[in-house]
Structure 1
């Protein structure tokens, strides 16, 4: 995406008529991580990638969608059709699974697995391939379960009435569906009987949980950005060790805060999924570290691009997205608007967007995306020159 296009997007967003501010009462849902690359090119690359791994990766979700346990939950979920509860949007996303709108985590892990596994037909090789496929599936399942839980409505007891009964019922169904996905994923992980892999995935689960308690929150438990800290341009260092992510000197520093939030929000999980694929293939710790960093940086690139598209369009955006963090760091007066609000709903997001677009936040987010995409590309290229790696690189370039 060129700077000329970015400038055009900024002008278009600034000229957009002022819309009604939508009420935001939930945490981030899967839609907040969706990016929309060029449809034709992206769909073609996805189809080619699925031919390489052997089957459409959209089938990965069908294994649990068609299970008896989920069928019972789906019967109750039908009662929520027509409501605005996030669980309905999430269910539609899972059922339709539009390739042009979703980051294909499982597909990337399968491509990486095929690239690093020996091309033999022995029983051992077949078992490794099957186990790697399970890792791809359970990674997607954990991710989906986590976002189902994050879409719960936070309705204070004093605001509950007969008008909120359907939302409260949907919350219960969302909890059950999220729990089912997480429990099923953990069961799949346990059946692999690989202690090292279990440890890697458990560290990602820890990071997902800790992310829910990082930084300030409003009364609806929506995340709020840290107070800007000037002259703090130090980058967040991604380490492959399994220690908790460092939160020191992150809040208020736009790149460090954004990187940590994205790592908490799924970057760590995707990285561990890629690392686990190499672990199962018997590769060295050095190769596993490269795979982990590749997954992390690719997730960061996807997130930056998704946030870039949202801030330059009519979509709802997060106040902890990269453009917002860059904007309040460039113009600290914008932070006063956030600091005075008790809830995100108190902020006129469209007017706030106009102020953001007056800064260089869009250009800085574009640079952030390019930097992480280039790092992801450089790491994955170390795994050789083959069809699977070439396809991953094409997917990165298509963004």
Structure 2
């Protein structure tokens, strides 16, 4: 299989994935990168977020305070996200735009509109990317009411929260689509539209497999993760090159960087529970990368036996015990190898861009996703 050849490629192991844990490493990388593009990307969407329409929605969302609806946690993350994950995509689009620089044609009149090495259309694209990502984050906060019980809280609160999640997400997505049309580039519209479709497809697959966790293979995990987590970033980076009228080679390199960085970032997130030090309770998905690798190593029969071992009388899984079983096999180390592979592939994609602060920031991000 393709993933086996990746893991056996020792040349990709030069990044140290066993460096000392540094919780602030990613935060520092993002903070330094924001200084290069001119302002924190968390404020890129203020024009939309401070509009009268969304302010009206926000007033209704306040009614959810005191309930357990996940929309509140999503909204809180817009104000403070300790891992700086929410605004990552727009920042990367801006850095990619700055790293690539102006298009080769010096006679092109659009050069005059560049500010700090970035075209206005590229800044608009970064904002659009953030709006799309935020819209899907809000939509992911919709609660499955079929699984809701009286002990979880009043049903009417969840119903109201779901309505607000749908309304807010749709509003953000509509604004993103309007901004996308205003870029006046049919190729870019096609790229980002296909990315939206990819995210929808990826989320659908996640929902369909979560009902029967344990059905993913390593290959299908990568495919699904690219759709739900990587397609938007990869195609936005490619679109940024298209807006600056760069050639197909630059567009492909930008796409590859976004793809591999997103996959590496997701692997880093999945691995965090398995490699971090401390005695915190284990919480992870049975379709996270280390579990998928472990399940493929031990086989379906032994995997079912291990699940029974860690279940109590109420058939609830003790994730701390399950984590211990998973760490006895090579699933975690193989997931670490794959994380290193994607980080290095992202670094490789940047080699063809001229040396600059923006390129260095993108390289630092690629290195950061391989550190824990």
Q: TM-score range, shorter-chain basis? A: 0.7 to 0.9
In the alignment, does 2:300 pair up with 1:328? no
1:360 and 2:360 are equivalent in the alignment: no
Report matched runs for 1:37-56 at 5 Å.
Answer: 38-39=23-24, 41-56=25-40
Tell me the equivalent position of 1:230: none
In structure 2, which of residues 138, 141, 145 is the aligned counterpart of residue 151 of structure 1?
141
Change (3 A) 1:158 1:134: closer
Distance 1:216 1:57, change over 3 A: closer
Q: Write the deviation string for residues 19-65 of structure 1: whole angstroms up to 9, x where unpaired.
A: xxxxxxxxxxxxxxxxx9531x4444333322221112111132222
Equivalents in 2 of 1:121, 1:62: separation in Å? 34
Per the TM alignment, residue 387 of structure 1 is displaced from its structure 2 partner at its CA by 1.7
Contact in 1 for aligned 2:263/2:342 (Cα 8 Å): yes
For 1:197, the equivalent position in structure 2 comes to 188
Q: How far does residue 338 in structure 1 lie from its aligned partner after superposition?
A: 6.5
The question of 1:281 aligning with 2:244 is answered yes
Measured in 2, the distance between the counterparts of 1:315 and 1:183 equals 38
Quick one: distance in 1 between partners of 2:330 and 2:155?
Answer: 42
After TM superposition, give the deviation of residue 396 of structure 1 in Å: 2.1
Match of 1:260 among 223, 240, 243: 223
1:4/1:130 CA distance change after superposition, 3 Å: closer
Q: Please name the residue that 1:124 is paired with.
A: 110
Distance in 1 (CA, whole Å) between partners of 2:263 and 2:93 is 16
Counterpart position of 2:9: none
Which one of the candidate residues 121, 128, 140 is aligned to 1:138? 128
User: How far is 1:102 from its partner?
Assistant: 4.8
C-alpha separation in 2, matches of 1:154 and 1:270: 28
Per-residue deviation, 1:187: 0.8
- Gaps of at least 5 residues in structure 2 are 1-14
What's the CA shift for 1:123? 6.2
Aligned to 1:90: 74
Task: Give 1:173 shift.
Answer: 0.6
1:225 is matched with 214
C-alpha deviation, 1:390, in angstroms:
1.3
How many pairs are equivalent? 339
1:318 aligns with 2:285: yes
Q: 2:201 aligns with which of 206, 210, 219?
A: 210
Which of 49, 63, 67 in structure 1 is aligned with 2:51? 67
- When normalised by structure 2's length, the TM-score is 0.82
Aligned partner (choices 76, 93, 98) of residue 109 of structure 1: 93
| In structure 2, distance between residues paired with 1:137 and 1:216 | 27
Please list every run of 5 or more consecutive structure 1 residues that lacks an aligned counterpart in the other structure.
7-35, 227-250
Comparing 367-376 with 324-333, greater Cα deviation is found at: 324-333
Q: Which residue of 2 aligns with 1:27?
A: none
311-320 or 143-152: bigger deviation: 311-320
2:156 pairs with one of 131, 149, 165: 165
**Separation in structure 1 between the aligned mates of residue 32 and residue 204 of structure 2, nearest angstrom:** 40
Deviation at 1:337, TM superposition (A): 6.4
